[in-house]
Chain A
Amino acid sequence: MFKNLLLRDLRLAYYSSSNFIYIGSFFILVTILIPFVINTETEGLKSVFQGLIWVGLALALLLALDRIFSSDFDDGNLDIILRMEVSYEKIYLSKLLSVWITYCLPIVIIVPLISTAFNLTINETIFVTINLFCGSFGMAATAIGINALLMGLKRMIYLKSIIVIPLYIPFMIFGVEQGSWPVLSALSMIAVVVASFATSYGLRLYGE
Chain B
Amino acid sequence: MDYLLAENLSCIRGSNTVFKNLSFKVSRGQILHITGANGSGKTSLLRMIAGFIYPSEGKIIPEKNYTHKDVHFVGQKYALKKNLSVEKNLSLWSYLYQKKINTDQILSDLDLTQYKDNDIEVLSDGQKRRLSIARLFIHSAPIWLLDEVHVHLDSEWQVKLDHYIYNYINEGGIVLISSNTKIELNSNIDINLTNYNV
Contacts and interface: CB of A to CB of B under 8 A. Distances in A.
B116 interface: no
A92 to B, nearest CB: 16
A76 B75 CA distance: 8
Contacts, number: 73
By secondary structure, the A interface counts as helix
A37 interface: no
B69 A82 contact: no
Given A4-B98, A83-B68, A76 B92 contact: no
A85 B73 contact: no
A75 B69 contact: no
B15 to A, nearest CB: 14
Interface stretch (A5-13, A122-130, A132-140, A179-187): A5-13
Interface in B37-73: 47, 50-53, 67-69, 71-73
Interface residues of B, number: 31
B78 A76 contact: yes
B78 A5 contact: no
Interface stretch (B79-87, B156-164, B174-182, B184-192): B79-87
A85 B69 contact: yes
The 9 closest A-B pairs by CB, nearest first: A76-B77, A8-B95, A207-B52, A76-B79, A4-B95, A83-B68, A77-B79, A208-B53, A80-B96
Interface of B: 13, 47, 50-53, 67-69, 71-73, 75-84, 88, 91-93, 95-98, 135
16 contacts: A1-B98, A8-B96, A15-B84, A76-B76, A76-B79, A77-B81, A77-B92, A79-B75, A80-B93, A81-B96, A83-B50, A83-B71, A84-B97, A85-B68, A207-B52, A208-B53
